[in-house]
Amino acid sequence: MYVLELGGQDDDFAVFEAESAASDVTPIAPGLATARGVTDRIASLAYTRAASELLGRCPPDVESARALLSATTLQRTGTVAVRAEDVRGRTGVDTQRAERVLGQVLVDRGFAVDLDDPDHELRVLFAEPDPGDGRTDTCAVGWLVTESVRDFGERKPTDRPYFQPGSMDPLLARALANVAGARPGATVLDPMCGTGGILIEAGLVGARVVGTDAQQKMVEGTRENLEAFLDGDWHVARADARSLPIADGGVDAVVFDAPYGRQSKIEGDIDDLLSAALREARRVAPRCIVVGDRPWARTASAAGWTTEAAFQRPVHRSLTRYVLALRR
């Protein structure tokens, strides 16, 4: 069993993304989830920061964590370090004291401490209990297995060769690529690719990426951006999302950020556009992730899709992004 440290404030969406890299993911407290198994794709997740091999759970206080660790068989050799965290800053636990107390438990059991470059890192995660489930064992203790690569700041939209206002931030773009199924061996299509942000993130996790856009300037801009960030297999062309030059079932997943009504030059036709684009996406792929400034579930259903999951992600006071995960 493993414990996952979730990022952001939307645990439901973080868990959904984590399921692309782990099995049987179950939230246990705000900011924490367990998983029965994990893969190396954990390192590519946007909203999971780390995964640890779970030693056990206890109430969120230092003495309970000390008792748990003292009673646990530790099948490790080499140097260690203890890292304690007050998840979301809600428990008020003195994490420095926790590190000292649990570090002493390890020293008493024959381990040498190395805070700079340990062979093993013990994660002690104190989280606020969820009043709805009646459980109090919301401190998770485990050996760190892997951390996700937090390099999203290197790909800010404003730092890319081609930029347009309204471009999606790379953190969300990575999560969308992951839930679409981007990974080595998969082909992911963005039929409204804009400046290519989703394609960049899908390509960085190993997928073959294909992009189309109705505007030639966006096609050229996306090519510039992909050339700057990707060495892998990609292709971008001008095309109408309602009539794609792709064979039936030609890609593994479609993912796109739909035009926003108040920003789109085709505001009057946006419902017709999305309806046709979703029908075309269903022709070329068994899975689709669509993002918009309104929920498109009815339109997706009319196009033949089944909604697997739906999320609302507030951006600012005047904008909420709606995320739909669809399957044939």
Task: Provide the pLDDT for residue 114.
Answer: 96
Which residues, at least 6 apart from 309, have a Cβ–Cβ distance to it below 8 Å? 16, 324, 325
Residue 55 pLDDT class (50, 70, 90 cuts):
very high
Residue 222 confidence (pLDDT): 98
Helices (DSSP H) in the chain: which residue ranges? 11-18, 62-70, 95-108, 170-180, 197-204, 216-229, 270-284, 297-302
Query: 325, 251, 242, 253: which is closest to 289 by C-alpha?
Result: 325
Whole-angstrom Cα distance, residue 223 to residue 252?
21
Instruction: Give the least confident one: 71-85, 215-229, 271-285, 311-325.
Output: 311-325
- pLDDT band per the 50, 70, 90 thresholds, residue 136: confident
Dihedral angle sign, alpha carbons of residues 82, 86, 88, 89: negative
Query: Which tens digit of pLDDT belongs to each residue from 253-302?
Result: 999 999 986 444 554 588 999 999 999 999 999 999 999 999 999 999 99
Residues 211-242: b if buried by 16+ CB within 10 A, e if exposed: bbbbeeebbebbbebbeebbeeebebeebebb
Q: What angle do CA 206, 208, 211 make, to 5 degrees?
A: 130
* Chain segment 79-100, per-residue pLDDT in tens: 999 999 999 999 999 999 999 9
Q: Which helix (H) or strand (E) holds 246?
A: none
**C-alpha to C-alpha distances, 161 to 155, 165, 197, 220, nearest whole angstrom:** 10, 13, 12, 11
pLDDT of residue 261: 63
Do 193 and 256 contact (CB within 8 A), yes or no?
yes
In total, the chain counts a number of residues equal to 328
Show the domains of the chain with their CATH numbers: 2-147 (3.30.2130.30), 152-327 (3.40.50.150)
pLDDT attached to residue 62: 97
Q: Does pTM top 0.85 for this prediction?
A: yes
Q: What are phi and psi of 197, to 5 degrees?
A: -60, -45
Q: How far apart are CA 85 and CA 63, in angstroms?
A: 15
Q: Which one, of 248, 245, 241, lies nearest residue 290 by Cα?
A: 241
- 3-state SS string over 176-191? HHHHHCCCCCCEEEEC
Residues ≥6 apart with Cβ < 8 Å to 282: 288, 303, 304, 305, 328
- How many CB atoms are located within 10 Å of the residue 2 CB? 24
- Cβ proximity of 251 and 189 under 8 Å: yes
Maximum Cα–Cα distance across the chain: 71
> What is the pLDDT, as a whole number, of residue 263?
45
Residue 203 clears pLDDT 50, i.e. is over it: yes
